[in-house]
Structure 1
Amino acid sequence: MSASIRMRAGLSLVSAAVLAASLAAAPQARAEAPVLAGYTQAIASAASDDAALARFYAERDYAPIWTSAADADRRAALFRALDGAAAHGLPARAYDAAGLRAAFAAVKSERQRGELEVAVSKAFLAYAHDMSSGVVDPQSVDSGIVREVVRKDPLSFLQGVASEPPGLYFRSLAPQAPQYAQLLKAKLDLEARIAQGGWGATVPGGKLEPGDIGPRVIALRERLRAMGYLGRSASARYDGAIQKAVQQFQFDLGLAADGVAGEATLTEINRAPEDRLESLIVGLERLRWMNGIDLGQRHVWVNIPDFTVRIVEHGKAIFESVTVVGQNQSDRRTPEFSDEMDRMVINPTWHVPRSIVVKEYLPMMQKNAGAAGHIKLIDARGRTVSRDAVDFSQFNARNFPFDMKQAPSSSNALGLVKFLFPNKYNIYLHDTPSKSLFQRDVRAFSHGCVRVGRPFDLAYTLLGMQSATPKDDFHKVLNTGRETTVMLEHPLPVHLVYYTAWPTARGHIEYRRDIYGRDRALFAALQKAGVDLPRLTH
């Protein structure tokens, strides 16, 4: 075999038969230069609208990574990845694996091969982008999702797939956090359940409790059994087994675990499995948004719809508390982002945010100058102003010239300690004198900051990282009554997140309510991008 024929054999697409057909039309003596020129020109032209692609192929003298015989393993790994894209909640149709396969079978010239080479690379880049850092832009979904996503340079994707073992490389694109694999497994399991008919009939009527008997109890029993909370049973009575199953369900949903199937519990029990599937799909997307962010071996994890804050160390929670988060109003919802907690303030002064001053306190003071008298009025020079000297009726939200602040005290709106991770959103964690709110199932009452149910214990845990006597140190400062900033010698990452589906340490999935409607908006955006949702077959 001549050198020219051996070279062309190395550029085979799928099989020797396809190669032979593409070469048969051209005389061997003058085929080499025109064939290579056609392939190269096709690559250059097809890649000209993408700077990363154009640079990548130019730097490698237009050598292929997908369409030669030597690329068989890489090509197979790509198609396996594209075929599995839907399982990850990705828009598989956007990558058009079927169309690419058809194009491979239809290639009859080197120009077509060059065009196909670039088409495959573009599909790969779209997949790699989506799998590694998410399909949609967070802030396009909701203005409160201000998370900064790490987007890799497309050139690095191309260089990586061209140089690394293809199987390992494609597996490395997805988030490596164990929760990603757990959510993915739960998604596949739930899709299989949906294909088998879901969880059966919903439970009709109102409240059910221990001792009840009849068809509605049977419906509840069957629903709990289908959802995996109850073993086989023929009882028509709301017995101990059903009560225990209801309690476990309530616990998994963040409800008061009293074992009574009241209105809130039945609402959640009757949710369609597709609703839970949506939570899993958006959970996968949110984890892709966080891919590339170093969570920190020790970090603060605030899950907004779970109403909890945890300090996680090497994957284990060493502190946990209930929280109150922002109200479901456009300017009060707690945002999602990551930062670094580096200090706490003991006996804090509350510098009332401007929005609260003009939207809440100014109207109150216009009706009664003495309203909110525990909060001082401060002029531009930092002096306390007597309310009796102010005609509040002459001011509005634009021209009100005063600030307001509340001195440290047990009745201070921030309580006795706040935890800071300086950010442009003016969001932080803090104590509160309004303890009763922590008893509610849904705890969205703040102006956006996160109120902590066990603030002193949080302070002790943080100070314990730098002191042998954290409790004594804290109270020594607290007892002075003076505002004091304590810097953390070991600042730690803090992540404000929004997961309505999240695995426990054992991989069991717990669900929460979509309190701000962010998941609903995110899933709509994913559907618009081409993500499909399985439906009940019968």
Structure 2
Amino acid sequence: MAGQNTGAYVFPEVLSGSVPNPRCLMLPLSRPPFMTHLRHLILPIGIVLGVMQPVAGQAQVSVFRQAVAESVAGQSDLAPSYRARGFTGIWTGADAAAIARRNALLTALADADAHGLPVSRYDPEGLIRKLRAARSAEDRAAMDVELTRVFLRYARDVQSGMLEPGRVVGLIRREVPLRDPAETLASFLEADPVAFLRGLAPASPEYGRLMRARAELQRALDAGGWGARLSEAKIEAGDSGADVVALRDRLIAMGHLAPTSSAVMGEALVAAVRDFQSRNGLMVDGVVGPGTRAELNRSVEERLQSVLVAMERERWTNMDRGDRHVLVNLTDFSATIIDDGRETFRTASVIGAEVPDRQTPEFSDVMEYMVINPSWYVPRSIVVGEYLPQLKRNRHAASQILITDRSGREISRNSIDFSSYNERNFPFSMRQPPSNSNALGLVKFLFPNRYNIYLHDTPAKSLFGRERRAFSHGCVRLSEPFDFAYALLAAQEEDPVGFFQSRLATGRETRVNLEAPVPVHLIYRTAFTDEEGRLHFRRDVYERDAAIWAALAREGVAISRPAS
């Protein structure tokens, strides 16, 4: 074939129905095993576009380039990229590179549902129809630009997510790592197209495990789900009968129990219930009560929704989280230290209460230091919203907390007429000195941020025995703060326990800098996996995932249900 670019070709075989020249067949490309639909459409279009014959020579090339230039005029995201290549085509040529690019793109678009993205958002079948219908240089130029725009949309979606998180849920204060479109396109043009498109999605092990979980749940849905829902009956060790059989069958379908014909709640079935409870954030007692039953009765569709939301959330954090980092999963009520991809420390946590003004936000920052024997500088919202009303009734209320002026000097309560102030004009601050009863406990961990959120100890230890631990004003309380401190200090102290305890024993407020600051990520996952690949679920404590799922559904994300 002549060595001209796409501007010089038409589609005679489409018009005449003649057999294509074998020399022009689309190049063989690897195809993921799950990619089967649209094969019959992608191959013909590759052949069709591969047999274009040159007509009118350079004049057609000029018409094509002029049409491309006009199509991208004023479009800051596309014009520079096309201008840099002299407005030549990217996708619609008959050369091997263009064929490989469009085949790789159409294949990726047809497989978008593997990432929880709606294929309809990119409409690969529609693109193929338009490509087949393109006759003139102007038509082909318009298609080239359209394919580029679809490519950039898909790249953004699969790499950084479809949604703007803060617009869906205000307390998701996450800076999504968006890539520059021009750089994305330039990198694509320099790379193997199949490898590049496959490499757009997050490379984290979690994302890969979520993809597999999505596929497994879809297969379970296609097979009819997990069976009948459980009745209201309580089930415990030694029970037998129809309710136990229903429980047994559902746990087998979910993968918590090996196939068995036993109709008795014996050791194996109790162990399966305990495994289910552990993987769903429930109190692990082996008894099916109201809470466990409610989670057992959740449908495959509900769980699939959680996984699809988790995949979108994982795309929002498609960035380097740090070789060592702290991960706080709000729905799991936990804080962990991750070293080189493996969990090295875990402790239970208490998060912000469920009322809107106390919920813990989601964001990432960097922990710089800890404070041993901290003072609690009471936030203004708590001073005027909680303590001022108490002080109006009794000036000696909250006596463990000092009243201070703007310079931090203590002011006698007897000198203040609290009744003359309201939340707008109260001129004083409040501070609780270091003590065992301090609201922050005996250590706090700071990653300075505009939300005034940090991790800390607490004297209210009993709350860690609860299953649902949303009680704070927004900060994250740790069940084992000393051990957490030791783990952090181990990177810079030979004797982290002795170092910490010696500062604690002074009773004085002491700041300890971290020589290597540690990234902190406050996330919210109702579906996640462990290092063994097992899928876990948690309740949507702040109902944020419900809002995200609704937003994804508006963008076209849907669960494929088996035909009835």
Q: TM-score, normalised by structure 1?
A: 0.95
Aligned to 2:487: 461
1:236 to 229, 247, 263: 263
Deviations 1:289-345 (A, max 9, x none): 111x21111111111101111111111111110000111121211111111111000
The residue that corresponds to 2:20 in the other structure is: none
C-alpha distance in structure 2 between counterparts of 1:141 and 1:342, whole Å: 30
Aligned equivalent of 1:289: 316
Residues in 2 aligned to 1:343 and 1:303: alpha-carbon distance in whole angstroms: 21
3-state SS, counterpart of residue 472 of structure 1 = helix
SS of residue in 2 equivalent to 1:69: coil
**CA–CA distance in structure 1, aligned partners of residues 119 and 166 of structure 2:** 23
Aligned amino acid, residue 445 of structure 1: F
Identify the residue that residue 346 of structure 1 maps to in structure 2.
372
Which residue of 1 is the match for residue 401 of structure 2? 375
Deviations 1:412-444 (A, max 9, x none): 000000011111111100000000000011111
Q: Distance in 1 between matches of 2:489 and 2:270?
A: 42
Instruction: For 1:73 and 1:45, locate their aligned partners in 2 and report how far apart those are by CA, in whole Å.
Output: 26
Q: d(CA) in 2 for partners of 1:12 and 1:166? A: 23
1:213 to 224, 230, 240: 240
Give the Cα separation in 2 of the matches to 1:294 and 1:303. Answer: 18
**What CA distance in whole angstroms lies between the structure 1 residues aligned with 2:217 and 2:181?**
34
Displacement after TM superposition at 1:534 (Å) = 2.5
Give secondary structure in 1 for the equivalent of 2:430: strand
Q: Which runs of 4+ in 1 moved over 4 A?
A: 8-13, 18-22
1:358 pairs with 2:354: no
Deviation at 1:214, TM superposition (A): 1.9
The one-letter amino acid paired with 1:379 is: D
Match of 2:152 in 1: 125
User: Percentage identity across aligned positions?
Assistant: 47
CA contact (8 A) 1:11 1:67 kept: no
For this pair of structures, how many residues does the alignment match? 529
Q: Distance in 1 between the 2:389 and 2:118 partners?
A: 50
Q: Check 1:38–1:207 CA distance in 2 against 1; reply closer, same or farther (3 A cut).
A: same
TM-score between both structures, scaled by the size of structure 2: 0.90
Question: Which of 263, 285, 302 does residue 275 from structure 1 map onto?
Answer: 302
| Counterpart mapping for 1:176-325 below 5 A | 176-291=203-318, 293-325=319-351
What are the superposed Cα offsets for residues 7-66 of structure 1, whole Å, 9 maximum, x if unpaired? 3688547x66359999xxxxx99x335423331232122222521211111110111110
Q: Secondary structure at the match of 1:342?
A: strand
Offset at residue 231 of structure 1 (A): 2.0
Matched, 1:7 2:4: yes
What is the distance in 2 between the residues matched to 1:8 and 1:372? 79
Give the Cα separation in 2 of the matches to 1:342 and 1:508. Answer: 33
Mapped contact 2:235–2:289 kept (Cα < 8 A): yes
Q: Please give the secondary structure, in 2, of the residue aligned with 1:236.
A: coil
The corresponding residue for 1:521 is 547
Match of 2:79 in 1: 54
Residues 198 and 536, structure 1, Cα contact 8 Å, conserved in 2: no
Three-state SS of the structure 2 residue aligned to 1:7 is: coil
Q: What is the SS of the residue equivalent to 1:490?
A: strand
The aligned counterpart of 2:453 is 427
- Matched letter for residue 167 of structure 1: V
User: Aligned AA for 2:542?
Assistant: Y
Q: Is the 8 A contact 1:344 1:419 kept in 2?
A: yes
Q: Which AA in structure 2 matches 1:180?
A: Y
1:103 matched residue in structure 2:
130
Q: Deviations over 1:453-488 (max 9, x none)?
A: 000001111111111111111111101100000001
SS of the aligned residue for 1:488 comes to: strand
Measured in 2, the distance between the counterparts of 1:111 and 1:180 equals 41
Which residue is 1:25 aligned to? none
Instruction: Work out which of the residue numbers 484, 507, 511 in structure 1 matches 2:533.
Output: 507
**One-letter amino acid of the counterpart of residue 509, structure 1:** L
Q: Kindly tell me: are residues 506 and 8 of structure 1, through their superposed partners in 2, closer, same or farther at Cα, counting changes over 3 Å?
A: closer
Per the alignment, in what secondary structure is the counterpart of residue 158 of structure 1? helix
Deviation for aligned residue 1:408? 0.1
Conserved? CA contact 1:12–1:19, under 8 Å: no
Match of 1:63 in 2: 88
* Secondary structure, aligned partner of 1:384: coil
What is residue 34 of structure 2 aligned with on the other side? none
The AA in structure 2 aligned to 1:387 is R
**In the aligned structure 1, how far is the partner of 2:119 from the partner of 2:450?**
37
Of 62, 70, 74, the residue aligned with 1:37 is 62
Amino acid at match of 1:454: E
| Number of the residue aligned with 1:145 | 172
Is contact 2:6-2:89 (8 Å) kept? no
Which whole-Å deviations, capped at 9, do the CAs of 1:335-371 have from their partners, x for residues lacking one? Answer: 1111111100000000000011111111111222211
Q: Partners of 1:191 and 1:370 in 2: how far apart?
A: 61
Distance 1:457 1:260, change over 3 A: same
Which residue is 2:13 aligned to? 17
Listed one character per residue, the Cα deviations across residues 223-279 of structure 1 (whole Å, up to 9, x for unaligned) are 111111112222222222211110000011111111000110000000011111111
Q: 1:89 aligns with which of 113, 116, 119?
A: 116
| CA distance in structure 1 between the partners assigned to 2:144 and 2:509 by the alignment | 65
In the TM superposition, what are the counterparts of 1:156-167 in structure 2 within 5 Å? 156-167=183-194
CA distance in 2, matches of 1:129, 1:165: 18
- Tell me the distance in 1 between the aligned counterparts of 2:140 and 2:410: 78
3-state SS of paired residue (1:345): strand
User: 1:289 is matched by which residue type in structure 2?
Assistant: W
**More RCO (CA 8 Å, sep 6+):** 1
- Structure 2 Cα separation of the partners of residues 64 and 455 of structure 1: 59
Structure 1 residue aligned with 2:30 = none
Q: Cα–Cα, structure 1 residues 9 and 372, in superposed 2: closer, same or farther, change >3 Å?
A: closer
Give the direction of change, closer, same or farther, for the CA distance of 1:206–1:12 in structure 2 (3 Å limit): farther
The Cα of 1:210 is off from its aligned counterpart by 1.1
Taking the aligned partners of 1:110 and 1:301, their CA distance within structure 2 comes to 54
- C-alpha distance in 1 between matches for 2:90 and 2:475: 50
Between the aligned partners of 1:349 and 1:138, the Cα distance in structure 2 is 34
Measure, in 2, the Cα distance between the counterparts of 1:537 and 1:200: 17
Query: CA separation in 1, counterparts of 2:461 and 2:154?
Result: 48
Counterpart AA for 1:44: A
